[in-house]
Amino acid sequence: MVYKLDPTSNSLVSSPIDGVLLLDKPIGLSSNYALTCAKRLLKVKKAGHTGTLDPLASGLLPLCFGEATKFSQNLLHANKTYDATLKLGVSTTTDDAEGEVLKTRPVTCDRIAVHSALMAFRGPIMQVPPMYSALKRNGKPLYVYARAGHTLEREARSVTIYALECITCVLGAVASITIRITCSKGTYIRALARDIGEILGCGAHLAMLRRTSVGELSLTDAVTLNRLSNLDRQQRLSYLQPIDALLSKFELINLDNEMAKRFINGQRLRLANKPSVSENDRVKVYNSDKNRLIGIGRWQSGVLFPERLLSTFRYY
């Protein structure tokens, strides 16, 4: 359905430096440093990422440039998928390979026990965050207390593991398992590794982590910094995906030029026909005549309310 008023010859223009770069972040770089490197390569000033990856982790890091930064919050709440390798028999202070060894125990479990342990973590679970985390207590991150040798009580939080499967299982003197996890926002994979190790009775820590998807975005479409550094700027910009890549779960409402002009000027629109959305749903809004995203809105009581608008689009 395209909602129309009077025809208009007005047009829209946009900046070419608005979009989403799917970066394959290497191990050893912080998310902020990777973002800085990408900004320099693309020569873009306004940029942000959609949730950090620890330096120990590699994989998909969506970076937003220009107007796309207005919509980066949408991915902070998206489900994420990881491939993680757990080293069995060794517990560490940080629940990953960067920490000091706390305890070593023999690995006596078999493959059946491993698969049984994983089943216990599928679905909604309560998870105690690691001490080495950025969660704050009295204004200080927990890792500050941990580095000072203090362990604080942490309240378990509800998270959801939508999928959890064993990819490889190596048992013996040097035991490890590689698992694939799809989980909700706020899930600590380090804590998951710790808890799986405790159920197995041998302890474990996270040895490797690679993020393969964020929401509908996939690592298969990502590019490395090394690859970008070997291209000229125009070739680098060709890797930018449209802002709409951040909004794939949003229902679409099309407006003609005149309605789009009103919407982008902040006016609420009462539409003649109800779109196929539920009350209070957020929607992506297009100028159908130009086939361009102009912002997102919220549908309430038969009225489309502007919520976030693309300021790079202007009528002349």
Say if residues 245 and 74 touch (Cβ distance below 8 Å).
Answer: no
Q: Which positions ≥6 away from 168 have C-beta within 8 Å?
A: 176, 177, 178
Cα-Cα-Cα-Cα dihedral sign, residues 278, 282, 287, 292:
negative
CA atoms within 13 A of residue 139's CA, in its CB half-sphere:
0
82 strand-pairing partners? 181, 211
141 Cα distance to chain centroid: 21
Nearest alpha carbon to residue 292 among 308, 313, 270 = 313
CA 191 – CA 121 distance, rounded (Å): 12
133: helix, strand or coil: coil
Please say if 195 is a catalytic residue.
no
CA 236 – CA 152 distance, rounded (Å): 46
Cα-Cα-Cα-Cα dihedral sign, residues 49, 53, 58, 60:
negative
- Of residues 6, 18, 24, 54, which has the active-site annotation? 54
CA 123 – CA 226 distance, rounded (Å): 38
**Active site residue ranges:** 54
